[in-house]
Amino acid sequence: MWLVSVIGLSLLLWWWNEFWYVFPLKLRRLATGTGAELPPGHMGFPIIGEMLTFIWYFKILRRPDEFINYKRKKYGDAEGMYRTHLFGSPSIIAYLPPINKFVLHTDDAFTIKWPNVELIGRTSLGAVDGKYHARLRSFVSNAFNRPKALRCVALQVQPRMVAALDSWAQKGTIIAYVETRKVTFENIGKLFVSFEPGPLLEPMFKLFKGVIQGIRTQPLNIPGSASYHGRQVIDNIITLVIGGYESTTLAKMWAMYCLAKYPKVLEKLREENMSVSKNKEGDILTYDDISKLKYTSKVVEETIRMANVASLSFRMATKDVEYKGYKIPKNWNVILWLRYLHTNPENFEDPMCFNPDRWNEPPKPGTYLVFGGGSRLCAGNMLARIQLSLFLHYLSTGYKWKLVNPDAQMIYLSHHKPADGVEVEFSKI
């Protein structure tokens, strides 16, 4: 008897979310004879949905891409979408290039969704929409993501990189994740909250004036008040530091890992960068020097592809949407499964191989979304690229390093990295 009860209860729990979320939509479709059907999939258990399956593939098996492969085998392709319930919400997973592109470029139907928007700030660039978003974006891009600003950034970040690498060599053994974090924070901190002279001073000064005025006034959260303005400013500085900190740290750590595993790539990189450093006779590199480093820029792209810093990106449907015969219901999340684009052999040949030469050709359309896309394309993508190029220059021309645990296990949550944080023996050449 108890066995029957257990089986009955398990079945009830397994189908609960399907009854709750999917059944009413199916009934309405039957009754009206109109409307598209939901993509195939399963909504999992009440409250937790398919989180256990997600954890199984990401944390236990440590083969996150099998999560999608398993669904592809089970349900077929269905225009690159599955229904599910993850991270506390009914969701549509999007894993093929066309549906990712559609979602990223349809701003009137999808809005950005942060699991914890309070932490990045409701009025920050990453959280606001529409005209205000466009205005903030252009301000932020002009301040540090366009060539004029990058020329200055290139000069500003180098002294700290040079000093950090030198100190690593003195230590002898380092954990790349820990050390790249420190130097990235120093540079990001310097770029976004520095009062030292430089072209970034003026926008930062204006921002900080806003903060200071905001702090001194009554906390009235109404548009136009100094307090409201101060809050906008704080939110944006936090967004920039958060956006630029972990992502760039991980990219540098991955560069060290991949180059240690692929010595031939390191050799080519070193060769290209040695020729520059010889020409410069000890001077620091300029933005224009970096633009000439063609092989280095391929190493940068390949590192960022392999790193998959932003594995998933979240949107929410603001209205019912139909895409190629399937429905994405209003208020459901859309989980853009970006990492799968970069690790799918249909998009990149031998995807787990670190091969900068693949960048001799442009990637297939829509397959390379490491920086997202559409109106929310990463606001710091060029800043990240230039920092990584400079890091590669000093690293490859002055130092050698060896992985302490070349077979370290990979972890995928919260970010993809070797479990030891890339411990290396590090010394001058």
Binding-site residues for heme: 378
Question: Nearest distance from residue 383's CB to ligand HEM, in Å?
Answer: 4
User: Between 16 and 114, whose beta carbon lies closer to ligand HEM?
Assistant: 114
Select from 92, 109, 125, 341 the one that contacts ligand HEM (CB under 6 A).
125
Amino acid occupying residue 55: I
Asked whether position 244 contacts ligand HEM by CB under 6 A, the answer is yes
Which single residue is written with the structure tokens 């492969």? Answer: 69
Residue 128 sits at φ, ψ, to 5 deg, of: -85, 165
Stated as kind and residue range, the H or E segment containing 427 is strand 423-428
The correct pick among 81, 157, 251, 265 for binding ligand HEM (CB under 6 A) is 251
Which residue in the set 141, 158, 247, 355 belongs to the binding site for ligand HEM (CB under 6 A)? Answer: 247
Q: How far is CA 236 from the centre of its chain?
A: 18
Q: Say whether residue 137 binds ligand HEM (CB under 6 A).
A: yes
**Cα atoms found within 13 Å of the Cα of residue 104, Cβ hemisphere only:** 24
Identified binder of ligand HEM from the candidate list 99, 266, 370, 392, rule CB under 6 A: 370
Q: How far apart are the first and last CA of the chain?
A: 73
Judge contact between 266 and 259, C-beta under 8 A. yes
Task: Compare residues 137 and 400 and give the one whose CB is closer to ligand HEM.
Answer: 137
Q: Is 313 in the site for ligand HEM (CB under 6 A)?
A: yes
Annotate each residue in 267-306 with x if it binds ligand HEM (CB under 6 A) or - if it does not, as one string: -------------------------------------x--
| Cα–Cα distance list, 179 to 165, 210, 302, 365 (Å) | 9, 33, 22, 36
Residue 389 binds ligand HEM, judged by CB under 6 A: no
Q: Does 368 bind ligand HEM (CB under 6 A)?
A: no
Q: Is the dihedral of CA 102, 109, 332, 87 positive or negative?
A: positive
With beta carbons less than 8 A apart as the criterion, state whether 321 and 327 touch: yes
Burial class (CB in 10 A: 0-12, 13-18, 19+), 285: buried
Residue 377 Cβ vs ligand HEM, minimum distance, rounded to whole Å: 7
Q: How far is residue 189's CA from residue 175's CA, in Å, rounded to a whole number? A: 21
Q: State the minimum distance, in angstroms, from the CB of residue 144 to ligand HEM.
A: 7
State the minimum distance, in angstroms, from the CB of residue 205 to ligand HEM: 18
Residue whose Cβ sits closest to ligand HEM: 380
The helix (run of H) or strand (run of E) holding residue 205 is helix 201-216
Binding site for ligand HEM (CB under 6 A): 112, 125-126, 137, 239-240, 243-244, 247-248, 251, 304, 309-310, 313, 370-372, 376, 378-380, 383-384
